[in-house]
Structure 1
Amino acid sequence: MTTTLPVPIEFSLPAGWLSAPPDEVGASQAAFVALHPGSSAGFTANITISGEVRADDVTLAQLADRAAARLRQDVGEVEVGRRNELESAYTQVLRLTAPVGGRPVELVQLQVFLAMADVRDERRRAVLEIVLSATTGQFEDLVGDFQAFLKTIRPDEGASR
């Protein structure tokens, strides 16, 4: 069953990306999935968005560590690359080999953890996990699209009315 996001957001997909129902593409843990059909040579690059409300003091870096640990449980070895901490965001690049269609495929994930304060309760915050997954060959071509996509994400002010 598809999850929902803890806060309403709005965004724009770059050209060449199409939204897909998470359950239909095997990403039921996600609230949103976008696919890049032009990149499908054995693996379709994708962007997923999931999130949760947190009322604890777990840092975004700790959440990133937990995400890498979950991947290790699912696929085995995960190499953590460059990490970057910003005021309300944390990014990390992961390299892994995952089974796709019964064969191992080398993938790169750029994971972004984005914190949004709860305006009604400052002890709570929503944390979005936004992930680009691509093969090593696709990654260089698509990371610019992903960065452009990230710049469009903002709270959906109209949803609270």
Structure 2
Amino acid sequence: MAYWLLKTEPDTFSIDTLKQQKVSCWEGVRNYQARNMMRDGMKVGDKAFIYHSSCKDVGVVGIAEVVKEAYPDHFQFDPESHYFDPKSAPDNPRWIMVDVAYRQHLNYVSLARIKANPALEEMPLVKRGNRLSIMPLTECQWLEIIAMSESKGR
């Protein structure tokens, strides 16, 4: 099993939305490096933190699980979609998505707390210049954030 961090803007799609839907496609990834991680790395059963970004309370808010591996993101073919890509073709799609299922809310772990934790200094999220929407985590990083959530500090 692998561990991931999935960034989302809660005004667009939040942990609460995922809880309500139970399972959702993780669509709209339009970065080749993030796409490759989904395509080549994400497997059924992998765990992912849901991370709210571009909001007042930036940080980890919950856990999802990958329940369907990479398949073509159908939004790339829809001219009415914000994620439309006219250079992508159905016989050779550029973009993919995975399906994730809601597993649980966590006590909020702020970005400030993550950055202040020496055990997380190698985490891609805190590295300068890393703005990917999908990031791999080590098991140690995963467990550290779980412990931080259980300690309930903001």
TM range (shorter): under 0.3
Task: Name the structure where strand makes up a greater proportion of residues.
Answer: 1
TM-score of the two chains, using structure 1 as the length reference: 0.26
Taking structure 2 as the reference length, the TM-score comes to: 0.27
Larger RCO, structures 1/2 (Cα 8 Å, 6+ apart) = 2
